[in-house]
């Protein structure tokens, strides 16, 4: 989703910063969130040895995402190939257009609808949080100072709150500690993410 949200599915999130151009890796929605860039780089290097100047990084990223979902128990689908890698990136545009872990629902819906997506798309794509982890810096304020109240988020399940406060104590050196986005089955592609939301055990404010 992060490779497609800004303009087109061009893999612009893969571009590093260069002189006078700041890429999207350090935009707020991506910072401390996306990992594994070196995996795509390594696959690209291997592909180039056998088939130079043919397969784009964004196609590799798309196929890798599909395979990760399949290996996690999710569905298989055919992937149309032939995307071209982006040559430009914009940290400012990424900050404006990609939902952040702190965005309220109305902001997320607005960002999706600006891309021609609807509420159903928001729900479906948010389900991607059935797999993966988040760093404490992306949800720590829910645990200790929700919306500047000096208190935890009152909607967060008390058992989960206690567990997360142990993983993410209110200290700067815990910012990079990790917690699963799906507290029930973090390595399995299933619908537990949605049942977590019903039971107030979603991790991020944006959930």
**Known binding residues for substrate:** 99
Which residues carry a binding-site annotation for Ca(2+)?
10, 12, 24, 130, 182, 190
Which residues carry a binding-site annotation?
10, 12, 24, 99, 129-130, 182, 190
- Six-digit token pair at 127? 């389900």
**For every residue of 110-142, which 3-state class applies, written as one string?**
HHHHCCCCCHHHHHHHHHHHHCCEEEHHHCHHH
The closest of 131, 128, 9, 14 to 80, measured between CA atoms, is 9
Which residues carry a binding-site annotation for heme b?
129
Q: CB pairs under 8 A, 24+ apart, for 159-166?
A: 160/200, 160/201, 164/139, 164/203
Distance CA(35)–CA(22), nearest Å, equals 18
Bridge partners of 21, per DSSP, are 18
A 10 A CB-CB count for 191 gives 12
């Amino acid at each position: 989703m992060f490779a497609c949200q800004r303009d087109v599915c061009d893999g612009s999130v893969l571009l590093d910063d260069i002189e006078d151009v700041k890429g999207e890796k350090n935009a707020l929605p991506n910072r401390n969130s996306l990992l594994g860039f070196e995996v795509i780089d390594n696959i690209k290097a291997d592909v180039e040895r056998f088939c130079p100047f043919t397969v784009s990084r964004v196609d590799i990223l798309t196929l890798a995402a599909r395979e990760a979902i399949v290996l996690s128990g999710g569905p298989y689908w055919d992937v149309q190939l032939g995307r071209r890698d982006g040559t430009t990136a914009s940290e400012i545009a990424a900050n404006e257009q990609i939902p952040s872990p702190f965005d309220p629902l109305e902001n997320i819906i607005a960002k999706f609808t600006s891309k021609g997506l609807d509420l159903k798309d928001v729900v479906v794509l948010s389900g991607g949080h059935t797999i993966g982890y988040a760093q404490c810096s992306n949800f720590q304020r829910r645990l200790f100072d929700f919306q500047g109240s000096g208190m935890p988020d009152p909607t967060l399940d008390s058992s989960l709150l206690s567990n997360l406060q142990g993983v993410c104590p209110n200290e700067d050196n815990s910012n990079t500690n990790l917690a699963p986005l799906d507290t029930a089955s973090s390595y399995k592609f299933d619908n537990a993410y949605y049942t977590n939301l019903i039971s107030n055990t979603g991790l991020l404010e944006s959930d």
